[in-house]
């Protein structure tokens, strides 16, 4: 059986970035496994009304594939999905891209120093395995008593049922995170009424932006230098937001005041305004962008229930605060299983599954490699998320690190990279020390950045993109154990 140089799992932003980075490095012997029938990841799966990115589109794109023709400052989800299809075409992946090919399991074979990958149809063997599965893949369905008794349409926002017409129906939405903030204004325009169950209010700042005029798109298309300068400006603006998200006193106060002014300008009712005001530090949870959410909630089309949905009895929904509501349809905008990655159960290293290694929260070195899992690389995994800038930038930095690591692997007689446990432990301590005084840890909220099993910050990188670049670019291979004797084959 032929041994591939690398197998990449996932064909979203990270997987396509990895594939392109390998090709540009002259490493063409790889496959990209994608369980769905199309590329796109998050932007393939999330098709709810109003879905869009909250990072400016010209920055939320791959450096190798700039796009001058985004239609809006914050691109709609369908447009991002089309962009990723275009990336896949321009990368000319051909039969390297295996759609409808899930990774059902992967096991490290120490005798042959390869990863053996089960796809259900074809067994693959690769010297290296890159997990680019994303954080937002498996919807989180909360344990709500009686949820199964609801008689009407019931679905998660990430699995939107387009066969269901919600026009003129009483729709209940559970959650007030990023997806809810986008979809509630859309539902409010067509539903008979929307009931919104809020466990915790979010800090929301003005979104701005809008349509990009055709003349501006043409100007950027004809002038690559102008497009590069725009991208550089957006990057700098994003890096500048790190201060307010991470707890800098002056920046946090300014950002908090901006959010409060936004709320006060759009919500006149004092009781509703109070219910929408967070009681935790700015930046503790993901900061949201919207100009439409507050007006929708303040309108007669929406009722805000300021406590969580606690029980379902048929079409009757009971809130934790005791109030009851009737609904014809129920939408769960309740996020994803982000801290406990579903793929971790499928990957077995030298001694244990990845899920067991991460049983108290994800750990790694460089947010990319994991002790006990030779020649394994994880993109968008431990401490690789951002709260202030484009996460695409992080995936690109990780892909560049993977290429450098593969070159180190090839210099070794055994062609194996084993992360030193001490290097992983030191990196984990480094993250903890950097995060200790930030709002993510001390801000008085529950957030998806922190793993509740250990209380550690496991999703977010507690620094700027530039700092991440410097951290990975500064590695010298000492994170890996010395080479062992060559294996057979």
pTM comes to 0.95
Give the pLDDT mean for 137-157.
94
Give the pLDDT mean for 165-172.
98
Look at residue 135 in the predicted model and tell me its pLDDT. 78
Mean pLDDT for the chain overall: 96
Q: Would you say residue 139 has pLDDT above 80?
A: yes
Q: Would you say residue 136 has pLDDT above 80?
A: no
Give the pLDDT mean for 16-21.
98
Q: Would you say residue 484 has pLDDT above 90?
A: no
Look at residue 489 in the predicted model and tell me its pLDDT. 43
What would the pLDDT profile of 193-206 be if each residue is shown by its tens digit?
A: 999 999 999 999 99
pLDDT category at 15 given cuts 50, 70, 90 is very high
Backbone angles phi, psi at 240, to 5 degrees: -65, -25
The domain ranges of the chain are: 4-138+337-473, 162-203+248-332
Give the pLDDT mean for 327-352.
91
Q: Would you say residue 268 has pLDDT above 60?
A: yes
What would the pLDDT profile of 419-476 be if each residue is shown by its tens digit?
A: 999 999 999 999 999 999 999 999 999 998 999 999 999 999 999 999 999 999 999 9
| Least confident span in 132-136, 244-248, 417-421 | 132-136
Q: Would you say residue 487 has pLDDT above 50?
A: no
Q: Would you say residue 488 has pLDDT above 80?
A: no
Topology classification of domain 4-138+337-473: FAD/NAD(P)-binding domain (3.50.50)
Look at residue 485 in the predicted model and tell me its pLDDT. 53
* % of the chain beyond a pLDDT of 90: 94
Q: Would you say residue 134 has pLDDT above 90?
A: no
Q: Would you say residue 336 has pLDDT above 90?
A: no
pLDDT category at 344 given cuts 50, 70, 90 is very high
pLDDT category at 159 given cuts 50, 70, 90 is very high
Give the pLDDT mean for 388-409.
97
Look at residue 486 in the predicted model and tell me its pLDDT. 52
Task: Judge if 4-138+337-473 and 162-203+248-332 fold alike in CATH terms.
Answer: yes
Q: Would you say residue 137 has pLDDT above 80?
A: no
What would the pLDDT profile of 291-316 be if each residue is shown by its tens digit?
A: 999 999 999 999 999 999 999 999 99
Overall CATH class of domain 162-203+248-332: alpha beta
Look at residue 341 in the predicted model and tell me its pLDDT. 82
Give the pLDDT mean for 391-412.
97
């Amino acid at each position: 059986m032929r041994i591939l140089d690398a197998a990449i799992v996932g064909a979203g932003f990270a997987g396509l970035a990895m594939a392109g980075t390998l090709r540009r490095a002259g490493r063409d012997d790889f496959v990209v496994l994608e369980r769905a029938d199309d590329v796109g990841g998050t932007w393939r799966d999330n098709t709810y009304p109003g879905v869009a990115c909250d990072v400016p589109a010209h920055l939320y794109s791959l450096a190798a594939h700039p796009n001058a023709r985004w239609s809006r400052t914050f691109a709609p989800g369908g447009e991002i999905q089309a962009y990723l299809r275009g990336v896949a075409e321009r990368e000319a992946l051909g039969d390297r891209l295996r759609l409808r090919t899930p990774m059902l399991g992967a096991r490290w074979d120490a005798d042959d120093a390869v990863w053996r990958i089960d796809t259900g149809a074809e067994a693959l063997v690769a010297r290296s395995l890159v997990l680019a599965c994303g954080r937002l893949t498996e919807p989180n369905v909360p344990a709500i008593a009686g949820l199964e008794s609801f008689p009407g349409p019931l679905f998660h926002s990430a699995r939107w049922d387009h066969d269901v017409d919600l026009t003129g129906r009483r729709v209940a939405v559970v959650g007030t995170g990023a997806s809810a903030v986008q979809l509630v204004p859309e539902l409010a325009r067509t539903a008979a009424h929307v009931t919104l169950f809020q466990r915790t209010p979010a800090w929301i700042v003005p979104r701005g932006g809008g349509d990009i005029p055709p003349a501006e798109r043409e100007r950027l298309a004809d002038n690559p230098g102008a497009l590069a300068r725009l991208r550089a400006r957006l990057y700098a603006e994003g890096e500048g937001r790190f201060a307010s998200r991470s707890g800098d006193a002056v920046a946090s106060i300014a950002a908090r005041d901006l959010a409060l002014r936004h709320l006060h300008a759009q919500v006149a009712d004092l009781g509703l305004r109070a219910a929408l005001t967070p009681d935790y530090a700015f930046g503790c949870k993901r900061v949201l962008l919207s100009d439409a959410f507050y007006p929708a909630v303040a309108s007669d089309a929406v009722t805000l229930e300021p406590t969580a949905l606690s029980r379902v009895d048929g079409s009757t929904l009971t809130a934790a605060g005791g109030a009851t509501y009737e609904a014809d349809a129920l939408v769960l905008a309740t996020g994803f299983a982000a801290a406990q990655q579903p793929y971790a159960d499928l990957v077995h290293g030298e001694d244990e599954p990845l899920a067991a290694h991460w049983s108290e929260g994800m750990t790694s070195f460089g947010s990319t490699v994991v002790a006990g899992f030779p020649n394994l690389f994880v993109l968008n995994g431990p401490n690789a998320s951002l709260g202030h800038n484009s996460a695409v930038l992080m995936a690109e930095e990780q892909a560049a690190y993977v290429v450098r690591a593969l070159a180190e692997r090839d210099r070794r007689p055994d062609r194996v990279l084993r992360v030193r446990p001490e290097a992983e432990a030191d990196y984990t301590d480094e993250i903890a020390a950097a995060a200790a005084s930030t709002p993510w840890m001390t801000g008085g909220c529950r957030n998806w950045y922190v793993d509740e099993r250990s209380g550690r910050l496991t999703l977010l990188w507690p620094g700027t993109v530039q700092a991440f670049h410097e951290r990975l670019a500064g590695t010298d291979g000492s994170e890996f154990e010395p080479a062992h004797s060559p294996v057979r084959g």
